[in-house]
Amino acid sequence: MRQGAAGGHRPPVSTWREALSLSWPATLLLLLHAGYRVVDQYWVQGLGAEAQAALGVTSFHLILNFAFITSLTTGVLARVARFTGAGDRPALERTVAAAYGSGLLWFLGLGLLGYANASWLVGLGGARDEVAALARDYLRTIYLVLPGIAFKPLTDALFIGRGDTRTPMLLSGLSLVLNCLLNPVLIYGRLGAPALGVAGAALATGLARGTAAILGMLLLARRDGLRPRIRNALDPATVGPMFRIGAPMGLSTAGYAITFLGVLKLTIEPFHTSYGPAVQAGFGVAFNGVEALSYCALMGPAVAVSSMVGRRLGAGDLAGARAAVRACLWMSCGLAALASALFLGAPHFLASAYTDDAAVLEQAGLYLWVVGWTQVVTAAQSVLEQALAGAGRTFLMSLTTLTGNLLRIPLAWWMAWPLGLGPAGAWWALNLSNLFKLAAIILVFRAGGWRRAGSPRAAPTA
C-alpha cells in the first residue's frame, strides 16, 4: 500500500507521529460513537429477537440521518482546517458562527420531517408486524431528540478541524458513560422511571449526546474564543461553501443507507417467511454490535487524514499532505487486517455477546465471516475518501461511491435469489461492490485534482 494510490516513499517520522497522535483519539472517538449502537443492541436483548431486529432495521435510518448531518459537518471540518492552517482568524470565526446557526435550523427541520414520516421510513426497511411497531417507536424518539444528537458531530468537526481529536474523544467517553447509565433505567423502568422499551434506548442516546454537545460548545467558547455570533450565523457566503463541500459526502452517505434499506426490503425481507426475524436480527447484532467497532477502528486514521490534509494544504504544504495520506493508509489497513482475522476466525464468538438465540447467532456469524474478507479494502477506500474530503474535493469521490453502493441492490438480489446463495449471497454482494469502489476511488485520487488545493491562493474564501 506504500506505493499504492498515494505513491512515493514512506513518510517522515514526524508525519507518522502526527498521524498517530490524531488517529488514536479519533479511533476511540468513533468507537465511543459506535458504542451507542452497541449499548442499545446489548440492552434491548431482554426485549426479544423482535427488538434486536428493530434496531437492525433502523441502523440505516440512523445512517441516513447522519448523511444529512454530514452534509454540514464535512464542509465545516474542511473549512475550519483550511483557515486554521492558513492562520485566517476572521474567516475561522465566521465559519464557526455559520456552523452553529445553520446547524440549528438544519437539524430542527430534519427532526420534524423524520418524525412525521417515521412509519413510511420503517416500511422502507422491510420491517413487519411487531418488528415494524418497535422500529417506529425507536425512530420517532430519535427524531424528537435529533438536534441534541446532531450537535455532537458538529462540535467534533470544529475540534478536529483545529487539529484536536482528544477533546471530542473525552466528551464522547463522558457521553457514553451517561448513555450506559440511562439505557437500563429508561428501557426497563428502573429507579422509578417509566419503562419505555426501545424508545428508552433512543431517548438515552439523545440525552447523552446532547449533554456532550453543550459541553463541547462551552469549551470552544472558553478555550478558543469560538462562539456563536448571530450576525454571521446565516451568511450565505460562508454557509454556501460548507454545504457545497459537504453535500456530495452527504449524498454518498445517503446512498449507502438507501442502498442497505433497498437490500433489506427487496432481498432480506422475503427470508422472513423461512427464517422468521433471525436474518434481520442476526444482521443487527453483527452490524451494530461487532462490525461497527471494527469500522470505527479503521476510520480513526481516515478522520486524522482529513484534518492533516486540510491544514497542510491550507499552509501550502503539498508534500506534507501526500505523506499524511501514506501514513494513514498504513495505519488503517493494519487495523483492518486485524479485524479480518477476528471476523474470519471467531465470528460466532464475537456475536455471542449480544444473543444466545441459536438462529440469530448463526446468521450473525455468517454475516461477519463473509464481510471479513474485505475489511482492508474498506480501510483503503475510507482513507482516500477522507483525504479528498479534507482537501474539499468531494464531488467525483462521492459520485463513485454512490454508484458502487447503488449497484448493491440488484447484485444482492441476484446473488441471494436467482443464484440461490440465500442471505450469504447478499453479503457477498457487499464485498464485490467494495472492490469496485476502491478501484474507482484510486482512479479519482490519482487524477490529482485535490492537489490544486495546495496553493494558498486556491484556498476558498469565507
**pLDDT for the residue numbered 452:** 60
Q: What is the pLDDT of residue 389?
A: 84
pLDDT under 70: residue ranges of the chain: 1-13, 126-127, 230-233, 449-462
Q: Which three cell numbers stand for residue 230?
A: 448571530
Q: Check: CB of residue 68 under 8 Å from CB of residue 255.
A: no
Question: How many domains does the structure of the chain reveal?
Answer: 1
In this structure, are residues 437 and 379 in contact, taking their beta carbons and an 8 Å threshold? no
**Which has the closest alpha carbon to 422: 409, 413, 435?**
413
The answer to whether 246 and 74 are in contact (CB under 8 A) is: yes
8-state DSSP, 264: I
What is the grid cell recorded at 16? Answer: 507518522
pLDDT of residue 459: 35
Q: Give the pLDDT confidence score for residue 8 in this predicted structure.
A: 46
Q: Is 87 exposed, middle or buried (0-12, 13-18, 19+ CB in 10 A)?
A: exposed
Q: Give the whole-angstrom CA distance, residue 373 versus residue 62.
A: 25
pLDDT at 457: 36
406 domain-assigned: yes
pLDDT confidence of residue 145: 95
Q: Looking only at Cα atoms, what is the longest distance across the chain?
A: 62
Does residue 5 sit within a domain?
Answer: no
394: in domain: yes
Nearest to 171 by CA among 220, 228, 209: 209
Question: Is 451 a domain residue?
Answer: yes
CA distance 338 to 4: 20
Cα dist from 86 to 97, 189, 242, whole Å: 18, 52, 17
Tell me which H or E stretch contains 462: none
| DSSP single-letter state for residue 6 | S
In a domain, 3, yes or no: no
- C-alpha grid cell for residue 326? 501514506
Least Cα distance to 323 among 334, 314, 312 occurs for 312
Strand runs (DSSP E) across 160-289, as ranges? none
d(Cα 241, Cα 79) in Å, to the nearest integer? 8
CA-to-CA distance for 420 and 359, rounded, in angstroms? Answer: 20
State residue 300's pLDDT score. Answer: 86
Q: Helix 49-86 crosses helix 198-224 at what angle (to 10 degrees)?
A: 10
Contact criterion met (CB below 8 Å) for 342 and 262? no
Q: What integer pLDDT is reported at residue 337 of this predicted model?
A: 96
Give me the half-sphere count of Cα atoms (radius 13 Å) on the Cβ side of residue 446: 12
CA-closest candidate to residue 121, choices 109, 107, 131, 135: 135
Name the residue range of residue 350's domain: 13-458
In a domain, 7, yes or no: no
User: Is 318 exposed, middle or buried, given 0-12, 13-18 or 19+ CB atoms closer than 10 A?
Assistant: middle
Q: Identify the pLDDT of residue 256.
A: 85
- Of 333, 304, 309, 318, the closest CA to residue 388 belongs to 309
Considering the domain boundaries, does residue 1 fall inside one? no
In this structure, are residues 374 and 439 in contact, taking their beta carbons and an 8 Å threshold? no
Main-chain dihedrals φ then ψ at residue 97, nearest 5 degrees: -60, -45
Give the integer Cα–Cα distance in Å for 61 and 407: 19
